[in-house]
A = this chain, B = another copy of it.
Amino acid sequence: MRDSTNLTPPEISDLIAAGKVESLVETLSHFHPADLADFMEHLGEEDAANLFHALPEDRRVETFELLEEDRQLNLIEHVGLTFMAPVIDRMSPDDRADLVKNLPPRTTERLLPLLAQAERADVKRLLAYPEETAGAIMSTGYANIGPDLSVAESLELLRRIAPHRETIYYVYVTGPERELLGFVSLQDLILAEPTQSISSLMNTDVISLPASSDQEEVAKHMEKYNFLALPINDERGRLVGIVTHDDILDVVEVEATEDAHLMGAVAPLENPYFRTSFHSLAWKRGSWLSLLFLAEMFTSTALHEFEGTLSGALSLVFFIPLIISSGGNSGSQSATLITRGLAVGDVTLQDWWRVTLRELGMGIFLGIFLAGLAFTRAWWVESDYLIASTVGLTMVGIVLFGTLVGSLLPLVFKRFGWDPAVTSSPFVASLVDIFGIVLYMNIAYQLMGSPTP
C-alpha cells in the first residue's frame, strides 16, 4: 500500500512550477484513486489544479469522485466548468448528483447546459428526491436485463455495459415497464449453462425498497441481508436505482455522528469539525446551551423558594452538586442505552412496558446503592442524621426519576416522530436537576421544618 511519494509539498510545488508535472503524474500512476485524492487534499489549490489537469482522463474521473466536497468545488473554480463538464458527465450518477447539490446555484445553472443530455436528465431526476431518502443516496448505474435472454446473451450484454455501471455483480431482471421481476448475481450467471434462460435462473423473491424510504431503513435492510446492493423502486414498482454497500457504510457513519452530536447537545454538524465555520459551530452550540440555560433557571427559582429551610441548615447546600449530578448521570445512562438501542433496532416502541419495568428495577437498585454511599458521606462530614437522611432519601428519588425519565423520554420522542437522540444527556440532566432540587428541599422541609433563621 502506498500513502506517500516521499515528496514534501514544497518539493511537489517546485516540480509543478518547473513544468515537471508529467513526471509527477507518472510517479503517481500506481496510486489507488483514493490515495491520489488524499494526496491532492494536501496540496495547495493551484498545485492540485495543475496536477489534476495533467492526469489521464480516466484517472480524473475516479479521483475527482473521491475528493472532499469543498476540494471538488474549488477545483471546479480553478480549472473551469468547460474542462470539468466531461469529467462530471462520466462520474457515477450518485456522486454526480451529490456534487451538483453542493454547487452554488449560479454554478449549477452554468454547468447543466454543458452536460450531455442523458446525464443532465439523470442529475435532475436524482435531485428531486428529498434528503436522507433512498432516492437521494441511490445510483442509477444499475445493470438490468430482460427475462428472455439466455445466460450467454446476458454475459455478452454485461460485458458491453459494465464500464458504465456501478456494479454488475447483481443484475436485475426487468419487464417492459422496467418493473422488477427478479435478480441474478454474476456468480449465478457464470455457474449456469450458457443456454439457460434468465427467466428460469432468476430469483423472483427479490427484496427492494421504495425511493421514499428513509436511508436508515435502507441501512437496516443491507445489514440484515448482507447485500452488495439493494434495488430501489418507484411507487409503481419500477426499478429506479440501487444503493450499494459503500453508500451504506457512509450512511451508518453519518447517522452515528448525527446521534452522537445530538446526545452531546450539539445541533448536528453537516461537515467535519475543522470544516465547520466558527460562526456555524457557535450557533449550533450556543442555541442548545441557551435552551438548557433557560430550563436550568428553574433551579434557582426553586432554591429561592426554600431560602428559609436552607438558611436554617446550610449544610444541606454542600450536597446539592453531589445529588443532582448522581441523578443526572443515572439519567444519562438510561437515555444513552435506550437511544442507541432504538437506533440499532434492539429496542422498539412496542417494548415500552418492558423498558419501564426494567428501568424501574434498575432505578430502585441504583438509587438505594447510591443513597447508601451518600448517607455515609453526609453522616461522615456532618454527623447529623437528619441531614444524612435527607441526602439519602433524595438520592433514591432522584436516581429513580433519572432512570425513568432517561429511558422513557427517548421512546416518547420516537413515538411523536422526533429524533430520540435529542433526549441527550444534558437535556435529561437538566430535567433531573430541577426535579432533584424540589425533591431535596421538600424532604428537608418535611424532616426539619423551616427553622427560624
Binding site for B on A (CB under 8 A): 1-2, 30-32, 34, 38, 155, 158-159, 162, 168-169, 186-187, 190-191, 204-205, 207-208, 222-226, 228, 245-246, 248-250, 252-253, 256-257, 259-261, 263-266, 269, 272-275, 278, 281-282, 285-286, 288-290, 292-293, 296-297, 299-301, 303-304, 307, 310-311, 314, 317-322, 324-326, 328-330, 332-333, 335-341, 344, 346-347, 351, 354, 358, 361-362, 365-366, 369-370, 373-374, 377, 381, 425-426, 429-430, 433, 437
The minimal Cβ–Cβ distance linking A194 to chain B, given in whole angstroms, is 12
Contact: A208 with B1, CB < 8 Å? yes
A257–B437 CA distance with the chains assembled, in angstroms: 32
Contact: A362 with B285, CB < 8 Å? yes
The minimal Cβ–Cβ distance linking A295 to chain B, given in whole angstroms, is 9
Contact: B319 with A300, CB < 8 Å? yes
The minimal Cβ–Cβ distance linking A305 to chain B, given in whole angstroms, is 10
Contact: B250 with A325, CB < 8 Å? no
Q: Which B residue sits closest to A391, measured CB to CB?
A: B300
A316–B41 CA distance with the chains assembled, in angstroms: 52
| In the complex, chain B residues whose CB is within 8 Å of the CB of A310 | 314, 317
| In the complex, chain B residues whose CB is within 8 Å of the CB of A282 | 362, 365-366
A271–B318 CA distance with the chains assembled, in angstroms: 39
Select one of B228, B261, B429 contacting A228, CB under 8 A. Answer: B228
The answer to whether A296 and B325 touch (CB under 8 A), given A333-B266, A340-B257, A426-B425, is yes
Contact: B296 with A333, CB < 8 Å? no
Contact: B253 with A366, CB < 8 Å? no
| In the complex, chain B residues whose CB is within 8 Å of the CB of A1 | 207-208
| In the complex, chain B residues whose CB is within 8 Å of the CB of A297 | 322, 377
The minimal Cβ–Cβ distance linking A17 to chain B, given in whole angstroms, is 27
Closest 9 CB pairs of A and B: A264-B336, A272-B346, A256-B256, A226-B246, A299-B321, A300-B318, A245-B245, A273-B341, A303-B318
Interface centre among A168, A228, A310, A426 (most CB of B within 10 A): A426
| In the complex, chain B residues whose CB is within 8 Å of the CB of A326 | 289, 292-293, 296
| In the complex, chain B residues whose CB is within 8 Å of the CB of A307 | 314
The minimal Cβ–Cβ distance linking A38 to chain B, given in whole angstroms, is 8
Select one of B168, B226, B259, B320 contacting A260, CB under 8 A. Answer: B259
Contact: B366 with A260, CB < 8 Å? no
Q: Which B residue sits closest to A247, measured CB to CB?
A: B226
Interface centre among A168, A314, A318 (most CB of B within 10 A): A318
Contact: B293 with A370, CB < 8 Å? yes
Q: Which B residue sits closest to A295, measured CB to CB?
A: B325
The answer to whether A429 and B322 touch (CB under 8 A), given A272-B346, A340-B257, is no
Other A-B pairs, 19, CB within 8 Å; known A265-B336, A425-B426: A30-B204, A30-B205, A32-B207, A158-B190, A162-B187, A169-B187, A186-B187, A228-B245, A263-B264, A272-B347, A282-B366, A289-B326, A299-B318, A300-B321, A310-B317, A317-B320, A321-B324, A321-B433, A328-B429
Q: Which B residue sits closest to A256, measured CB to CB?
A: B256
